[in-house]
Amino acid sequence: MDLLKQLQELLGSEHVLTGADAARYGRDWTGAYASQPRAVLRPANTQEVSAIVKAAAASGTPIVPVSGNTGLSGGTHADGALMVSVERMNRIHEINTGARIAIVDAGVVLSRLHEAAADVDLCFPLTFGARGSAMIGGALSTNAGGSNVLRYGSTRGLCLGLEAVLPNGEILDLMGQLHKDNSGYALKDLLIGAEGTLGLITKAVLRLSPAPKAYATALIAVPQLDTALDLLHRLQEATGNAVEAFEYMPAEFHAAHDAMHPERPLPLQGSPAITILVEVGATAPRDATPDADGAIPVVDYLESVLAEMMEKGLVSDATIARSEAQRQALWATREAAAEVAMGNGPVVLSDVSVPLDKVAIFLERIEARVAEAFPASKRLWVSHLGDGNVHYNVLDQDLTPHSKDQITEMIEDEVRRLNGSFSAEHGIGLSKKNSMARRKDRVALSTMRAIKTALDPQNLMNPGKILPD
């Protein structure tokens, strides 16, 4: 039987999309990796995924998993492949308040899980700008980071167990709810961050945390990044590591943002060179309960720390959110970073990490190199300063494939000099395969290839991603 007819009988013709019906799935958020999948399949459960994979394996047809398609690295490019969308697998099976876990399908949208956890005074802390469309399966497949890694860790650390369909169609059940399980190889962790090259994640057991009862959020201006780190360390010590986010935005970013969003001007005097968005989440009632005057202790504490540092000249200006609307307005600026970078012309995007105390050194070195080699370029960057992740982006109307490679190699050079990583939270996909070839340890690459060959000898599961050709 023809493969597509077989799949139509399995799923129903309305869930096997081809031609124009499949077109929107072949374009990711960046628009840089357009493709034409042979068909888009929309299974309703793990058993249907298993049947799809077995049929594809029997016919030698490649499979590309897709969730919200909000990635930035070309991980869902699918020319001629069967694209398997998990959008119909969107059930939240359980929110267990006693164990503080959520059992969810891979197609659950991140913001929906946020809402379900909030209903029982818990939170799933993974968050980033695309939370309204990104899905759990994609977050696991890329080991997504976001703005709360500082306090809660990346997606891998938030996952206790998962279920996946392997390249031969077998269902791998790793749906444990244990915080300790030392029974052999960490297969769960192998699948997380593999971008669908080793199997298709269908379900997960996720850790939930107490929902903060109050937030203290501020945008501050500091004279230098070292000062910012001093502030971070002081706040961490005083709050018991309750700092949830510590985001660095320079003046160049604010100028580009304000040009795109004049309705959200910078709420600080002048154009400070360095601004930090800091947020502390308070879970203890003593820190979150308003006093007789309506003041919230954690907000008052942050204000007192900032006032003291201003007296010492370590903070030059600050604005503190006094309402949820003001807090959301501050976050809206930071979460527009990808939009700002992508909306200002041809761009080289980067997603690197260096040790916390080396961020300033990295930026100083790379700025000097890129400015000298490409004087007409504009550089825009933001940083999850609390975990050393920098998104250093270079915009130039005259970018060519060769100049993009030059800039990328410059960035990689400086990252390597500081013992950092060329990939922090966006995954490898297609965009960083050359970086993998240049920078990844040879033994590590050969080990990864051996694992890929062992699990997927036909190379059908998201082929062409991560590993260099």
Provide the CATH number for the domain around residue 240: 3.30.70.2190
Residue 59 in contact with residue 3, Cβ under 8 Å? yes
Q: Average of pLDDT values for 197-218?
A: 97
CB pairs under 8 A, 24+ apart, for 296-305? 296/214, 296/216, 298/214, 298/215, 298/216, 298/239, 299/214, 299/216, 301/216, 301/238, 301/239, 302/216, 302/218, 302/235, 302/278, 303/216, 303/218, 305/231, 305/234, 305/235, 305/238
The number of residues making up the chain comes to 469
Question: How far apart are the C-alpha atoms of 13 and 23, rounded to whole Å?
Answer: 17
Percent of the chain at pLDDT > 90 equals: 90
Q: What's the pLDDT score for residue 251? A: 95
Q: Is residue 164 part of a domain?
A: yes
CA dihedral 23, 25, 28, 32 (to 10 degrees): -30
Question: How far apart are the C-alpha atoms of 206 and 100, rounded to whole Å?
Answer: 9
Q: Is residue 460 part of a domain?
A: no
Q: Is residue 452 part of a domain?
A: no
Claim to verify: residue 152 and residue 169 sit in the same structural domain = yes
**What's the burial of 398, exposed, middle or buried (CB within 10 Å: 0-12/13-18/19+)?**
exposed
Q: Is residue 467 part of a domain?
A: no
380, amino acid identity: L
Dig out the tokens for 431 from the structure: 């965009």
Gyration radius of the chain over CA positions: 23
The residues facing 133 across adjacent strands are none
357, amino acid identity: D
pLDDT in tens, 261-282: 999 889 998 889 999 999 999 9
pLDDT in tens, 308-340: 989 999 899 999 999 999 999 999 999 999 899
Claim to verify: residue 274 and residue 161 sit in the same structural domain = no
User: In which band, very low, low, confident or very high, does the pLDDT at 1 lie, cut at 50, 70 and 90?
Assistant: low
Q: Parallel, antiparallel, or unpaired for β 389-395 and 352-353?
A: antiparallel
Claim to verify: residue 200 and residue 222 sit in the same structural domain = no
Structural domain including 352 reads 340-426
CB-based contacts of 404, cutoff 8 Å, min separation 6: 348
- If one compares 188 and 341, the residue with the highest pLDDT of the two is 188
Residue 390 in contact with residue 361, Cβ under 8 Å? no
CATH number for the domain spanning 33: value is 3.30.43.10
Cα 375 to chain center, whole Å? 31
Residue 161 has pLDDT above 80, yes or no: yes
CB-based contacts of 387, cutoff 8 Å, min separation 6: 145, 149, 150, 353, 356
Claim to verify: residue 292 and residue 366 sit in the same structural domain = no
Claim to verify: residue 236 and residue 322 sit in the same structural domain = yes
Residue 236 in contact with residue 243, Cβ under 8 Å? yes
CATH number for the domain spanning 142: value is 3.30.465.10
Measuring CA to CA, how many Å separate 240 from each of 237, 283, 296, 373? 6, 11, 18, 45
Claim to verify: residue 265 and residue 290 sit in the same structural domain = yes
> How big, in percent rounded to 5, are the helix, strand and coil portions of the chain?
40, 20, 40
Q: Average of pLDDT values for 126-144?
A: 95
CB-based contacts of 273, cutoff 8 Å, min separation 6: 221, 223, 250, 251
DSSP state of 28: -
DSSP state of 6: H
Q: Average of pLDDT values for 203-218?
A: 97
Q: Is residue 469 part of a domain?
A: no
User: In which band, very low, low, confident or very high, does the pLDDT at 227 lie, cut at 50, 70 and 90?
Assistant: confident
Provide the whole-model pTM.
Answer: 0.94
Dig out the tokens for 336 from the structure: 């527009």
Which range is least confidently modeled, 106-110, 224-228, 249-253? 224-228
Q: Which of 85, 101, 133 is the last residue of a domain?
A: 85
Q: Is residue 151 part of a domain?
A: yes
Q: Which of 289, 306, 335 is the last residue of a domain?
A: 335
Q: What's the pLDDT score for residue 335? A: 93
Question: How far apart are the C-alpha atoms of 466 and 469, rounded to whole Å?
Answer: 9
pLDDT in tens, 427-455: 999 999 999 999 999 999 999 999 999 99
Q: Is residue 203 part of a domain?
A: yes
CB-based contacts of 76, cutoff 8 Å, min separation 6: 28, 33, 64, 65, 66, 69, 83, 429
The residues facing 319 across adjacent strands are 219
Residue 288 in contact with residue 298, Cβ under 8 Å? yes
User: In which band, very low, low, confident or very high, does the pLDDT at 83 lie, cut at 50, 70 and 90?
Assistant: very high
Q: What's the pLDDT score for residue 218? A: 97
Claim to verify: residue 80 and residue 155 sit in the same structural domain = no
**Cα separation of the two ends of the chain:** 33
Rounded to the nearest integer, the mean pLDDT of the chain is 95
Q: Parallel, antiparallel, or unpaired for β 378-384 and 243-250?
A: antiparallel
Q: Is residue 453 part of a domain?
A: no
Q: Which of 51, 85, 119 is the last residue of a domain?
A: 85
The total domain count for the chain is: 4
CB-based contacts of 317, cutoff 8 Å, min separation 6: 220, 221, 268, 269, 270, 272, 310
DSSP state of 194: S
Claim to verify: residue 100 and residue 200 sit in the same structural domain = yes
Claim to verify: residue 395 and residue 364 sit in the same structural domain = yes
Question: How far apart are the C-alpha atoms of 124 and 173, rounded to whole Å?
Answer: 22
Residue 347 has pLDDT above 80, yes or no: yes
Claim to verify: residue 175 and residue 230 sit in the same structural domain = no
pLDDT in tens, 5-58: 999 999 999 999 999 999 999 988 888 888 999 999 999 999 999 999 999 999
